[in-house]
Amino acid sequence: MTGLNVSSSLSEQTVERLQEQIPRVTDRDSLVVRCPFTDSELGTVPACQPADVTEAVSRARAAQSEWAGRPVAERAEILQSVADEMLANDSELLDIVQLEGGKSRLDAHAELLDIVLTADYYARQGPDHIAPTRKNGAFPLVTTAVEHHDPVGVVGLIEPWNYPLTLAISDMLPALLAGNGAVLKPAEDTPFSALRAVELLVEAGVPEDLVQVVTGYGEPLGEPLISAVDYVTFTGSTGTGRTVASLAGEHLIDASLELGGKNAAIVLDDADIPTAVRGLVHGSYANAGQLCISFERIFVDETVYDEFCAQFVEAAEALELGASLDFGPDVGSLIGKHQLETVEAHVADARERGATVETGGRRRTDVGPLFYEPTVLTDLPGDATAACEETFGPVVSITPVADADEAVERANDTDYGLHASVWTGDTARGKTVARRIETGTACVNDAYLSMWASTDAPMGGVGDSGIGRRHGAEGLLKYTESQTVSTARDPLVPMPSVPNRLWAAGSTLTVRALRRLRGLSPLSER
């Protein structure tokens, strides 16, 4: 923490320039953004009100029709320019993400690369995903059917503080490629990352009014935003996600929700222990555990439990905590006092219920006001808060199991279903076990990065972990409305001179013939 100059890293001039992007119908109170590294003021943004949301949606909607009218190839070229702009301004972006998010530089760097990979994927593959597609018509030779994809209009994005760059922009890019406008509501803790990234979108060629940012608190802005847009994307807690889904339903718009998780990793008896430890230490403590797809529960085959646990504790103790704008520290700060209090409460409850704190379990004010040590719990009772509720901090429990069956049963003993990980020397076995875990995604012999970076594959949760998917064709098509245009040489209705009974009999014969041609068994004669 020594020598970290917050004011010089995010100057008053930069703050004022970024504030200019935010639509305000009139003067607004200021919302103070704090730097978790020092708990000092980083800058302020307006606390927008419902009228500002209305103005933002109006601006985005006015710009959207011209944007949608551009060839999709032109929009794709601009997405490639977005990737270029992000890379060209990487150092500044990483500084901002760290200063308002408190994370390590390596974790911030992962956010930047995610935007680049996502922009590149949708620029290359997106046009094919939304190209008009010929479908099988009702009757060959006489009918055709073509599916078209049109933008929904204006997309609302309500994004969290834990990954303020990637979740704000990577979720938005496919919406823009599809021809939509966007209104982004970033978390009140981390608005500057989003504001600077949107500024770079404009520099890359995105029309100036197409993307709007409204800053402020969620409660006064959520309902006005959802009621005014045509689709809503939300990442955050399950409780708030239910409210967002309810509001979307009231306004008859679709929604994509990535919510909470209580992710489990399984270490089988044939796993390479040093490799599993290296992967799961990162998978548990990335962004100080403030990651929806990080691990809070690890189930280890009892035959390798002692070896795994000893090596994991040693590796956790070797992690360096720090507040630095370079690549030195491994683990950064928690975002705020509310998150620190949650972590402390979960660990205290675990201790009271008989769990053992193998390492960690302390806040580290010598490093910074909101730092907490990487913590390992063993003998954690199933009714402990840390066993069943999302901690969202640097705390993981390690539990021995008799075999893979018990591991899967324990992993599935939760209302959540976001992500999982399996570690084994036999990848075929790992895939089989992964398929038994009730989650939207799972990795074999990796924590989460191989899944997250697979931008062609959908990612999302089941159960209380949400609905909808990001990435892949699904992550783009959700921002479109499909229209089918069918044609026929003649109307498919009886000719005036043909009795209805004969028309029906002829239709049945035609359907029987089509089924034979398509390789299906004909209907049984009755």
Which active-site residues does the annotation give? 258, 292
Helix orientation angle between 305-318 and 273-285, rounded to the nearest 10 degrees? 50
Helix (H) or strand (E) holding 467: strand 466-467
Cα torsion 97, 457, 172, 255: sign: negative
**Residue spans of beta strands (DSSP E) within 386-445:** 395-401, 419-423, 441-444
For 98, counting Cβ atoms within 10 Å of its Cβ (0-12 exposed, 13-18 middle, 19+ buried), the class is: buried
Residue 83 DSSP symbol = H
Closest CA to 302 of 404, 174, 396: 404
Residue 459 DSSP symbol = B
Total residue count of the chain as it appears in this document? 526
HSE value, Cβ hemisphere, 13 Å, CA-based, for 105: 13
Q: 155 - beta bridge partners?
A: 182, 231
From CA 389, how far away is CA 387, in angstroms rounded? 6
What's the N-to-C CA distance of the chain in angstroms? 83
Q: HEC states along 2-44?
A: CCCCHHHHCCHHHHHHHHCCCCCCCCCCEEEEEECCCCEEEEE
DSSP 304-327: THHHHHHHHHHHHHHPPB---SSS
For 37, counting Cβ atoms within 10 Å of its Cβ (0-12 exposed, 13-18 middle, 19+ buried), the class is: buried
Closest CA to 200 of 163, 168, 225: 168
Q: 299 - beta bridge partners?
A: 266, 399
- Which tokens sit at 349? 């409850």
Torsion of CA 491, 494, 496, 502, to 10 degrees: 150
**Alpha carbon of 195 to those of 108, 188, 199, 273, 388: distances in Å?**
16, 12, 6, 43, 36
Helix orientation angle between 50-69 and 218-228, rounded to the nearest 10 degrees? 40
For 66, counting Cβ atoms within 10 Å of its Cβ (0-12 exposed, 13-18 middle, 19+ buried), the class is: exposed
Longest dimension (CA), the chain: 93
From CA 429, how far away is CA 128, in angstroms rounded? 35
